[in-house]
Amino acid sequence: MANHKSSIKRIRQSKSRNERNSYQHKTTRNAVRTIRATTEKKEAEALLPKVNSMLDKLAKRNIIHKNKAGNLKSSLQKHVAELK
């Protein structure tokens, strides 16, 4: 166990940040799955800006790499464009 007040606080902060980051990451992954499973173009077009925003936020906070966010956004954009 930690011996210093600062290390106890650091453990507390790390735990809460880890929970928040994992929640946001999981939520975004579920949104990506949802948009990929969508077959209607209007519904997918409505979801796309929200998912892109989520991916940008994750990349900004270094939860995922910026190139991964870009690759996901690009593949989702292609998927939506191919829908009828």
For the cut 80, the answer to whether the pLDDT of residue 2 exceeds it is no
Q: What is the CATH number of the domain that holds 42?
A: 1.20.58.110
In tens, the pLDDT along 23-45 reads 999 999 999 999 999 999 999 99
* pTM as predicted: 0.85
- CA 54 to chain centroid: 5
**Three-class SS state of 12:** helix
**22 vs 5: CA distance, rounded Å:** 26
Host domain of residue 52:
23-82
At 6, which helix (H) or strand (E)? helix 5-37
Nearest one of 18, 80, 30 to 55, comparing CA atoms: 30
For the cut 90, the answer to whether the pLDDT of residue 18 exceeds it is yes
Number of domains making up the chain: 1
**3 within a domain of the structure (yes/no):** no
**53 within a domain of the structure (yes/no):** yes
> Would you say 25 and 64 are in contact if contact means Cβ atoms under 8 Å apart?
yes
